[in-house]
Copies of this chain bind each other. A is one copy, B any other.
Amino acid sequence: MSADGWLAVVGLGPGDPRWLLPEARSTIEAAGHLVGYHTYLDMVPADLVGDRQLHGSDNRVELARAGLALDLAAAGERVAVISSGDPGVFAMAAAVFEAQQAPDAAPAWREVDIVVVPGVTAALAAAARAGAPLGHDFCLVSLSDNLKPWSIIERRVRAAMEADLVLALYNPVSRHRPTQLATAFDLIRAHRPPGTPVVLGRDVGRPDEQVRVVELGELDLSVCDMRTVIIVGSTTTQIVPGAAGEPRVFTPRSYPGA
């Protein structure tokens, strides 16, 4: 590999440029190539795109995308792989390591140093908008079973319920998985009372941002889509009125019995 090449996996945060880390910005500025899912490349602020070469690809081709980025870096190019949120959370960082370590990986890929620049993941952003629902122990689970069996997802959702953890759900629903969200909520409703606070954050940090706070008993799952992150409270999470009467959610730092 050329000594000049490098590969950084960068998170844009949820979308609002005020949530883009300075290190993410400077890494993109130093790159010659931006590699990512089309939708995320479109989120890169225009002043940062400049004359950088864009390599957009479709969703669900993460390993091919990672291979392209490794090829470019191994050839001496400066490459930023673009994710939204934090690239280490259900995103491209793990995919780049997987591609590099695959049995059929090009030997030159092993010479590429992979740098990961952290970011604000969707659950933290939705939580901030709603109040402080993640103020106590919590769990992040992706409901997508494209790459894992549904049984392990159920096991994890059940574990979060039984251990009274706040639960943030990523990728709750897609065209290919229309019924699983309801199945997951059957499990959740079996463990949590109807008054449990639920936060639905859709496109948080983007122009169409929508944050809803509802009680579990009145939750309408049909408003959730792939761009929604769902936060289900624990038994201690509370909905309280904000200064203008709007609902705010927080999980106290203390737990009964302390």
Q: Contact: B252 with A94, CB < 8 Å?
A: yes
The A contact surface, by secondary structure, is mixed
Q: Which of B94, B110, B145, B165 interacts with A156 by CB under 8 Å?
A: B165
Q: Contact: A17 with B21, CB < 8 Å?
A: no
A97 contact set on B, CB distance < 8 A:
131-132, 135, 240, 248, 250
Q: CA–CA, A206 to B130, complex, Å?
A: 30
A93 contact set on B, CB distance < 8 A:
128, 131-132, 135, 250
A185 within 8 A of partner (CB): no
A77 contact set on B, CB distance < 8 A:
none
Q: List 21 A-B contacts (CB under 8 A).
A: A16-B23, A18-B23, A86-B120, A88-B134, A91-B135, A93-B128, A93-B250, A94-B252, A98-B253, A114-B131, A116-B132, A118-B127, A118-B128, A138-B139, A148-B255, A148-B257, A149-B257, A151-B257, A155-B163, A158-B163, A159-B162
Binding site for B on A (CB under 8 A): 9, 13, 16-23, 26, 62, 86-91, 93-98, 100-101, 110-114, 116-121, 124-125, 127-129, 131-142, 145-149, 151-152, 155-156, 158-160, 162-165, 238, 240-244, 248, 250-255, 257-258
